[in-house]
Amino acid sequence: MSSLNQKTLKNSVEIEGIGLHSGKNVKLLIKPSEPDTGIVFKRVDLKNNNLILPNFLNVTNTSLNTTISNEAGVKVSTIEHLMGALFCLGIDNALIEINNEEVPILDGSAIEFVDKLLVAGLKTSNKAIKIIKINKKIEIQEDEKNISIEPSKLSLDIDFEISFKDDFIKTQKNKINVYSDDLKDILNSRTFCLYEDIEKIKKMGLAKGGSLRNAIVVKDNGIVNEGGLRNSKEFVNHKILDCIGDLYTSGYRIIGKINCSQGGHYLTNKILRKLFSDNKNFSIKEIKERNLPNTIIDKSILRSIA
């Protein structure tokens, strides 16, 4: 069957851990679902109004995480790394049952989600994948931050730059082609913070579950975590992972080119809102092998991780 058809999981997968911001223990059960149903979150600790769609219009908080809420105000937070894993593995449809308000942070990256999803296996349907093709360049500039999305032929290119005053992080830049590059360093890269910001973040009521097991802490021109960085561009690579996860709130995979400097959850959500505010900016297409010469999901991604 064509690898360009929609995929779901072969088997359900259970994942358990602590919420980074809530500090609460949480269980996920990610289940296979039907073609054209997309990714759906279900709060199984609640009886009513418990479905939440990870759609950019449902994003209600972008402060140090991406939170989605439904019309009843029922929410799920820190969805971005799981969404990034689902995007990179080419999983189009899945029902994510969750028994609390925050997706577990695991090791702070997407790699544990990826490993477990691969163990569950993927199942290909007989329905073609739909993609979003960008027709027109859209840009947002806010102070020193900017993001743009523009047409590309067949790829999703993400060119990301971060610039910190901190001497250890400084400026990092990376550019990837999501559908053909080896994504191991992206999926493996952990969330991070500066040691001096921890108190401020905790005062905001966030990071109650934060520890060196799930975040890199930068201090005194190095990192506090034992074992050092997982790759030389781990900071910017994590921001690329966040960007991929947040882009998946568009509902489909995207063919386009993103340029971002100093952005994050807020700016990615803002550009999606701007992009979809005018239907001349994009088209949604079904893809078939005959009109797409290369595969949108390169099998080497799976090979390199598995």
Are the C-beta atoms of 156 and 124 separated by less than 8 Å?
A: no
The interface region with Zn ion, picked from 164-172, 209-217, 239-247, 293-301 by CB under 5 A, is 239-247
The interface region with Zn ion, picked from 96-104, 141-149, 189-197, 267-275 by CB under 5 A, is 189-197
User: Which pairing describes strands 39-43 and 216-219: parallel, antiparallel, or unpaired?
Assistant: unpaired
- Which neighbouring-strand residues pair with 30? 13, 96
Are the C-beta atoms of 296 and 253 separated by less than 8 Å?
A: yes
Are the C-beta atoms of 169 and 196 separated by less than 8 Å?
A: no
242, 247, 254, 275: residue in contact with Zn ion (rule CB under 5 A):
242
Residue closest to Zn ion (Cβ): 242
Are the C-beta atoms of 183 and 207 separated by less than 8 Å?
A: no
Is 181 or 242 the residue whose CB approaches Zn ion more closely?
Answer: 242
CA-based nearest residue to 270, from 141, 103, 87: 141
Q: Minimal distance in Å, beta carbon 72 to Zn ion?
A: 27
Is 129 or 207 the residue whose CB approaches Zn ion more closely?
Answer: 207
Q: Minimal distance in Å, beta carbon 176 to Zn ion?
A: 16
The interface region with Zn ion, picked from 7-15, 133-141, 152-160, 237-245 by CB under 5 A, is 237-245
Q: Minimal distance in Å, beta carbon 108 to Zn ion?
A: 8
Residues ≥6 apart with Cβ < 8 Å to 253: 87, 90, 129, 131, 132, 156, 296
Catalytic residue from among 21, 81, 238, 265: 265
Q: Minimal distance in Å, beta carbon 238 to Zn ion?
A: 6
Judged by CB under 5 A, does residue 191 bind Zn ion?
yes
265 catalytic residue (yes or no): yes
284 HSE (CA, 13 A, CB side): 11
Catalytic site positions:
265
User: Contact positions toward Zn ion, by CB under 5 A?
Assistant: 191, 242
